[in-house]
Structure formats: structure tokens, C-alpha cells
């Protein structure tokens, strides 16, 4: 069972979105692009000159151009997120999912880390939940969220346009996942679903699709 409601943003939620908006608006240094540009420039320059001064100038110029190139590639995504955050601030509403679930499967990435969860929420629908830092963490343990989720009842609050996570609460009893499903990489999920997405499907069909993509059998959890 699940339902979606809307409420007004709190002052803390508005501040969080403003901070994210500021981060999106700030010109960032793109280290990967800068390093790639510098190396390419260095390789090309070595074929033409051995002058140390010219090589330094060429490497710096290549690094700058590489940084700009990387910014151009990522700038579109940042611009879209910036527009969505501004729209959320104007609307001033938060989308709240209230979910009751008895069946959850856990997705594991290579190395055993948790890549996400699919929760059956009734009516032929499942919801994807990403791992997250637990705001009530005890002692800063990284796995505190995994000790509390899956649970029989939870709520997810997010900004509707940007889909920024603004809060997650486990209100029910903790339950074990039905099984673990390995995925080839987290990129497999990023190309398919986002946190809080609701799909019209079943956990069995989700498992078949992920098993086909990863070409691996699921690892069952012992009772």
C-alpha cells in the first residue's frame, strides 16, 4: 500500500535546496578533464619541442582547455538540475510517499556493497530505494541505514522537480530482504531508475531483468 501527499517546505528544507542551488551555480574545477587535456598537450608538444618553458605553457593551456571541455559536457546536467531546484523553491512543496511494504529485495554491487532496494508496494507496483546516510546514525556507523531498512512502513520526502532527497523515515518493524540480487554495476541501475521511482511491475520481473543484465544468479538469504 502506498500514497503520495504534498506539504509545504520547512525552513530547513528550503535552506538545503538553496545550498544545492548555490553548488550548481558555482563554476567547478574538472580534474579529470584537466589532467586528460594536460597529458594530450604534453604528448603533442614533445613531438615538436623539448624547450621546458614551452612545455610548461602547453601543459597549462591543455589543462585549462580540458577543464573547459569537461565543464561543457557536464554543464547541461547541472543546468537542468539548477532549473529544477529553482522550480522547487518557487513552488514551495514537498512530495511525501507513505509506503507499507512486506516484500523487499536487496541489490548488491560487485564487492558486496548495497546498490539499492526494490520494495513491493501493492497494486502491481514496486519502488526503488537508494542506500542513504541515516540521519539518526549511532556512532557514525556507515551501515546504520541497513540495520533499519527494509522495514514494514516507511516514508520518503523529496523535492518534486529535482527529486532531491529531503528525508527518509522508517516507522515500521525491520524485516529481512527476500533475497539478494547481484547487479553488474551501479551504472546499470542509474540508466534505469532513480531513488523513489515507482514502476508498474513485480519483484519477480525486476529480478529477471537484473539477472539478465548481470548474467548472474541471485544469492538467496538463508532464513
What are 1-51's pLDDT values in tens digits? Answer: 888 999 999 999 999 999 988 887 665 544 544 455 445 654 565 555 566
DSSP string for residues in 106-159: EEE-TTS-EEEEEEEEETTEEEEE-----TT-STT-TTHHHHH-SBSEEEEEE-
Distance CA 7, CA 109 (A): 35
Domain boundaries in the chain? 11-91, 95-220
Q: Name which residue leads in pLDDT, 28 or 80.
A: 80
Mean pLDDT of 198-204: 91
What pLDDT score does 61 carry?
Answer: 54
What pLDDT score does 56 carry?
Answer: 54
Amino acid at each position: 500500500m502506498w500514497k503520495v501527499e504534498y506539504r509545504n517546505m520547512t525552513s530547513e528544507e528550503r535552506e538545503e535546496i538553496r545550498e544545492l542551488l548555490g553548488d550548481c551555480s558555482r563554476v567547478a574545477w574538472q580534474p579529470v578533464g584537466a589532467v586528460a587535456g594536460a597529458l594530450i598537450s604534453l604528448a603533442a608538444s614533445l613531438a615538436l619541442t623539448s624547450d621546458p618553458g614551452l612545455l610548461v605553457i602547453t601543459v597549462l593551456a591543455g589543462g585549462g582547455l580540458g577543464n573547459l571541455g569537461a565543464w561543457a559536457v557536464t554543464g547541461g546536467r547541472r543546468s537542468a538540475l539548477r532549473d529544477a531546484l529553482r522550480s522547487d523553491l518557487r513552488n514551495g512543496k514537498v512530495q511525501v510517499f507513505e509506503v507499507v511494504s512486506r516484500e523487499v529485495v536487496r541489490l548488491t554491487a560487485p564487492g558486496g556493497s548495497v546498490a539499492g532496494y526494490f520494495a513491493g508496494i501493492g497494486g502491481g507496483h514496486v519502488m526503488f530505494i537508494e542506500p542513504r546516510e541515516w540521519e539518526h546514525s549511532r556512532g557514525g556507523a556507515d551501515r546504520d541505514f541497513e540495520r533499519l531498512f527494509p522495514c514494514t512502513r516507511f516514508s520518503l520526502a523529496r523535492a518534486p522537480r529535482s527529486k532531491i532527497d529531503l528525508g527518509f523515515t522508517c516507522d515500521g518493524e525491520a524485516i529481512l530482504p527476500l533475497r539478494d540480487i547481484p547487479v553488474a554495476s551501479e551504472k546499470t541501475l542509474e540508466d534505469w531508475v532513480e531513488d523513489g521511482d515507482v514502476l508498474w511491475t513485480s519483484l519477480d520481473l525486476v529480478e529477471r531483468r537484473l539477472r539478465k543484465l548481470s548474467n548472474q544468479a541471485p544469492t538467496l538469504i538463508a532464513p
